[in-house]
């Protein structure tokens, strides 16, 4: 006798979801809105970084701001799912945090730069990769300029990097446009993607 | 320069969506609710059939009720995407209706029995196949019994067929449970699947 529950629909496997995209595209804002909505019990991965905390940020919420020594130890212990040097600072995803969340049955969502997302997909092909982008390259450049957290030199570096990153969307599973003033649409789309993924007959099984 | 529109997100390819599942699972009810909501400009395929019209049905809305001669002509002209003999009557999907709707840019949704859905997937692998099911086999049997449109013999035939059909969910892309009293959830899930499919980086291109 065949029960629908055989398809893991009522108790679906938790997903490993990576939201990525060029710098300036609004990854943080989109994920914060998802977190605020609280529609589903996601675990939002908190990245560890060695870069200095910004005034608007909270330790343990935006990032775990850790020392270079602590970060080096995590690398040695192979306790990072992915790490990279970004603008002279280190960022990485603590493996244990992801394992614990998946074990509790929660979908895990992480925000990663494009290179980091590609690394995770290579290590874990069952991850769902979402590429967040703007309607046009001009829109992205204008958002980067509006940030004003950069030196002129830093800004040019970010723009050049973002231009290259825009070309890598095809390596992802889904692409979502974050339209200016239509943040809710991007969040709706990401939630639809996750909802749909839970209903695949061939569910993804993440094994970290 | 790379624009997001290269990924067909702003003008995505229209999808060919097949909603199937065992007899009695509620395919008609679910599709009627989607049609009523009218959130997106779908084209709902109207199947042609040679079976007699039921009291509750409307010609051109529930089905095109056509003569056996007319149906035979459509078979000869290769003008049916799929057709089958179901309980001694013919049912089929007029190709031209699907072509016209896709050409107008609308997603096309069709309701098919499990065998018909498998045929369409073979002819058009880019179709999105959704398997609608109940929470359990017992639930399905009790819905079939509640219909009271069958003779005892007809009912047993439907139950036996439905039991076999339940086993074929794995041939589909997605599985959606139509819970009793939670029709809206099933429709939400189908709409999420369609929404997500429009955001794949590797869009499906239907060529009939």
Query: Is B163 assigned a catalytic role?
Result: no
Residues in chain B, how many?
208
B-contacting residues in A 35-64 (Cβ below 8 Å)? none
Q: Which of A138, A167, A174, A178 to mutate against chain B (most B CBs within 10 Å)? A: A174
pLDDT for A7 beyond 60: no
pLDDT for A5 beyond 60: no
Which pLDDT score is estimated for A3? 45
The region of weakest confidence among A1-5, A191-195, B64-68 is A1-5
A104-121 core/surface letters (b: 16 or more CB in 10 A; e: else): eebbbbbbbbbebbbbbb
Residue A82 covered by a domain: no
DSSP string, chain A: ---GGGGTSSSPPPPEEEEE-STTS-HHHHHHHHHHH--S--EEPPPEE-SPPPTT--BTTTBEE--HHHHHHHHHTT-EEEEEEETTEEEEEEHHHHHHHHHTT--EEEE--HHHHHHHHHH-TTSEEEEEE-SSHHHHHHHHHHH--S-HHHHHHHHHHHHHHHTTGGGSSEEEE--TT-HHHHHHHHHHHHHHHTTBSS------
B192 part of contact set with chain A, CB < 8 Å:
yes
Which pLDDT score is estimated for B3? 45
Q: And the tokens for B40? A: 């997106």
The region of weakest confidence among A3-7, A102-106, B73-77 is A3-7
pLDDT for A109 beyond 90: yes
Which pLDDT score is estimated for A11? 57
Residue A75 covered by a domain: no
Residues in chain A, how many?
208
Residues A196, B197: C-beta atoms closer than 8 Å = yes
Cα gap A148→A200, rounded to integer Å = 43
In the 3-class helix/strand/coil scheme, how is B145-174 assigned residue by residue?
A: HHHCCCCHHHHHHHHHHHHHHHCCHHHCCE
A191 part of contact set with chain B, CB < 8 Å:
yes
Q: Supply the CATH number for residue B106's domain.
A: 3.40.50.300
B11 part of contact set with chain A, CB < 8 Å:
no
Which pLDDT score is estimated for B11? 57
DSSP string, A70-129: HHHHHHHTT-EEEEEEETTEEEEEEHHHHHHHHHTT--EEEE--HHHHHHHHHH-TTSEE
Q: Kindly tell me the burial class for residue A55, based on how many C-beta atoms sit within 10 Å of its own C-beta (0-12, 13-18, 19 or more).
A: exposed
Over the stretch A126-170, which tens digit does the pLDDT of each residue have? Answer: 999 999 999 888 888 888 888 776 788 888 888 888 888 888 888
Residue A114 covered by a domain: yes
Residues of chain B with pLDDT below 50 are: 1-9
Instruction: Please give the residue range of the domain that contains residue B51.
Output: 12-197
Task: Name the residue in chain B with its Cα closest to that of A137.
Answer: B3
Chain A CB contacts of B171 below 8 Å: 201
Rounded to the nearest angstrom, the minimum Cα separation between B132 and chain A is 10
Which pLDDT score is estimated for A154? 82
Residue B204 covered by a domain: no
Query: Is A99 assigned a catalytic role?
Result: no
Which pLDDT score is estimated for A2? 43
The structural domain count of chain B equals: 1
Cα gap A44→A158, rounded to integer Å = 25
Over the stretch A68-85, which tens digit does the pLDDT of each residue have? Answer: 999 999 999 989 999 988
Residues B174, A196: C-beta atoms closer than 8 Å = yes
Which pLDDT score is estimated for B6? 46
Is A10 or A53 the better-scoring residue by pLDDT?
A: A53
Which among A3, A175, A199 has the least Cβ separation from residue B201?
A175
Which pLDDT score is estimated for B62? 84
B13 part of contact set with chain A, CB < 8 Å:
no
Which pLDDT score is estimated for B7? 44
**For residue B166, which of B37, B25, B57 has the smallest C-alpha distance?**
B25
Residue B208 covered by a domain: no
Over the stretch B77-105, which tens digit does the pLDDT of each residue have? Answer: 999 999 988 778 998 999 989 999 999 99
Rounded to the nearest angstrom, the minimum Cα separation between A128 and chain B is 11
**Percentage with pLDDT > 70 across chain A:** 94
Residue A168 covered by a domain: yes
Spot the catalytic one: B37, B147, B163, B200: B147
Residue B156 covered by a domain: yes
| β-bridge pairing B89-94 and B48-49 | antiparallel
Instruction: Give me the total of CB pairs closer than 8 Å, taking one residue from chain A and one from chain B.
Output: 114
- The mean predicted confidence, pLDDT, of chain A is 87
Residue B25 covered by a domain: yes
Q: Check: CB of residue A144 under 8 Å from CB of residue A159.
A: yes
């Amino acid at each position: 006798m065949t029960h629908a529950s055989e398809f893991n629909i009522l108790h679906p496997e938790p997903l490993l979801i990576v939201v990525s995209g060029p710098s300036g595209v609004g990854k943080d804002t989109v994920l914060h809105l998802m977190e605020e909505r609280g529609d589903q019990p996601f675990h939002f991965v908190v990245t560890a970084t060695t870069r200095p905390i910004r005034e608007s940020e909270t330790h343990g919420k935006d990032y775990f701001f850790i020392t270079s020594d602590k970060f080096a130890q995590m690398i040695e212990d192979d306790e990072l799912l992915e790490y990279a040097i970004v603008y002279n600072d280190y960022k990485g995803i603590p493996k244990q945090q992801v394992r614990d969340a998946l074990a509790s049955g929660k979908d895990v969502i992480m925000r990663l730069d494009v290179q980091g997302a590609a690394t995770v997909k290579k290590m874990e092909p069952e991850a769902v990769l979402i590429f967040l982008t703007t309607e046009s390259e001009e829109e992205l450049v204008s958002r980067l300029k509006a940030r004003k957290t950069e030196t002129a030199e830093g800004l040019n570096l970010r723009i050049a990097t973002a231009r290259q990153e825009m070309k890598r969307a095809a390596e992802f599973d889904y692409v979502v446009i974050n339209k200016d003033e239509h943040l809710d649409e991007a969040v709706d789309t990401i939630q639809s993607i996750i909802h749909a993924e839970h209903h695949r007959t061939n569910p993804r099984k993440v094994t970290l």
